[in-house]
Structure 1
Amino acid sequence: MKNRIKLYVVFVFYVWVLPVKGQTISPDTLTPVLDYRTFLKEVAARNMAYAAEQYNIQLAEANLLSAGIFPDPEVEVGLFDNAQRRMKMGYGVSSGISWTMELGGKRRARVDVAQNEVELTKLMVEDFFRHLRADATLAYLRAIHSGLVLHVQEDSYQQLLRLAQADSVRLRLGSITQVDARQSKLEARTMRNEVFAAEADQQAAYAHLLLLLGREEQESLPLLEGDLQVGARTFMLPTLVLEAQDNRADLKAALGSKHISHKMLQLAKANRVIDLGVSVGMEYNAEARNEMAPSPSFTAVQAGVSIPLKFSNRRPGELRAAQYGILQAEKKYELVELTIKTEVRQAFYTYQAAAKQVEQFNAGLLEDAKAILDGKVYSYQRGETSLLEVLDAQRTYNGVQQSFYQALYDYAAALVELERATGIWDIDL
Structure 2
Amino acid sequence: MMRLTPSLALLLLAAPAWAQTPPTVAAPAASPTARPARAAGPGMAPLPLPAGTRVISLDQAERMLLERNLNVIAAQRGVDAVRAQRLVASSLPPPSVTVGNNFAEFNSTQSNNRIEGARFISPSNNIALGLTVLIETGGKRTLRTRLAEQNIAVAEAQVLDALRGQFFQLRQAFIAALAARANLEVALANRGSLDRTEALLRRQLQDGALPEGDLLRFQASRLPFEADVTNAAQNYAAAVAQVAVVLAMDAAAFSAPATRNATTAALPPVALDVRGRFDAMPTPGATREELAEAVQNRADVVAAARAATAGAANTSLAEAQRWRDVTLNGGWSRSRLSQDLPSASQPLNATNQFTFSLSVPLFTNQIVTGQVGTAAGQQAQLEAQARAALLQGRADFATAWAAYEQSRALLRLYTGGALNRAELAYRSAEQAYLAGGRSLLDVLDALRTLNATRVGANNARAAYLTALAQLEFATGVSGVAARL
Same fold (TM over 0.5): yes
Q: How does 1:281-300 map to 2 (within 5 A)?
A: 281-290=331-340, 292=342, 296=348, 297-300=350-353
- Counterpart contact for 2:172–2:469, Cα < 8 Å: yes
State whether structure 2 residue 187 is matched by structure 1 residue 153: yes
State whether structure 2 residue 215 is matched by structure 1 residue 215: no
Indicate the residue corresponding to 2:428 in structure 1: 375
State whether structure 2 residue 465 is matched by structure 1 residue 412: yes
Q: How does 1:16-415 map to 2 (within 5 A)?
A: 17-18=31-32, 25-26=47-48, 29=51, 32-80=54-102, 81-83=104-106, 86-87=116-117, 92-167=126-201, 173=208, 175-176=210-211, 178=213, 180-216=214-250, 217-219=253-255, 221-222=272-273, 224-233=275-284, 235-245=286-296, 247-290=297-340, 292=342, 296=348, 297-311=350-364, 313-314=366-367, 316-381=369-434, 383-415=436-468
Tell me how far 1:226 sits from its aligned partner.
2.8
RMSD value, Cα: 3.1
Moved more, 188-197 or 222-231: 222-231
Tell me how far 1:286 sits from its aligned partner.
2.1
Unaligned runs of 5+ in 1: none
Q: Note the alpha carbon deviations across 1:105-136, whole angstroms, 9 max, x for none.
A: 22222211111000000001101111111221
- Counterpart contact for 1:31–1:223, Cα < 8 Å: no
- Counterpart contact for 2:240–2:274, Cα < 8 Å: no
* Pair 1:134–1:19, CA change in 2 (3 A): farther
In structure 2, C-alpha distance between the alignment counterparts of 1:280 and 1:399, rounded to whole Å: 89
In structure 1, C-alpha distance between the alignment counterparts of 2:131 and 2:273, rounded to whole Å: 68
In structure 1, C-alpha distance between the alignment counterparts of 2:432 and 2:51, rounded to whole Å: 38
Tell me how far 1:32 sits from its aligned partner.
4.8
Tell me how far 1:225 sits from its aligned partner.
3.4
- Counterpart contact for 2:75–2:159, Cα < 8 Å: yes
Moved more, 34-43 or 309-318: 309-318
In structure 2, C-alpha distance between the alignment counterparts of 1:136 and 1:277, rounded to whole Å: 56
In structure 1, C-alpha distance between the alignment counterparts of 2:135 and 2:301, rounded to whole Å: 39
- Counterpart contact for 2:204–2:210, Cα < 8 Å: yes
SS in 2 for 1:309: coil
Tell me how far 1:215 sits from its aligned partner.
2.8
- Supply the AA of the counterpart residue of 1:421: A
- Supply the AA of the counterpart residue of 1:83: F
TM-score (norm 2): 0.78
In structure 1, C-alpha distance between the alignment counterparts of 2:147 and 2:446, rounded to whole Å: 69
* Pair 1:384–1:166, CA change in 2 (3 A): farther
In structure 2, C-alpha distance between the alignment counterparts of 1:169 and 1:401, rounded to whole Å: 30
Indicate the residue corresponding to 2:483 in structure 1: 428
- Counterpart contact for 1:14–1:165, Cα < 8 Å: no
In structure 1, C-alpha distance between the alignment counterparts of 2:54 and 2:76, rounded to whole Å: 29
SS in 2 for 1:87: strand
- Counterpart contact for 1:67–1:107, Cα < 8 Å: yes
Indicate the residue corresponding to 1:8 in structure 2: 5
Unaligned runs of 5+ in 2: 15-30, 35-45, 108-114, 256-270
Tell me how far 1:150 sits from its aligned partner.
0.5
- Supply the AA of the counterpart residue of 1:255: A
TM-score (norm 1): 0.87
Q: Note the alpha carbon deviations across 1:392-428, whole angstroms, 9 max, x for none.
A: 2122101110111111111111111112111112232
In structure 2, C-alpha distance between the alignment counterparts of 1:100 and 1:271, rounded to whole Å: 14
Q: Note the alpha carbon deviations across 1:207-259, whole angstroms, 9 max, x for none.
A: 222222333323463451333424234653322211222x3111111111111
- Counterpart contact for 1:229–1:412, Cα < 8 Å: no
- Counterpart contact for 2:318–2:368, Cα < 8 Å: no
Aligned length: 421
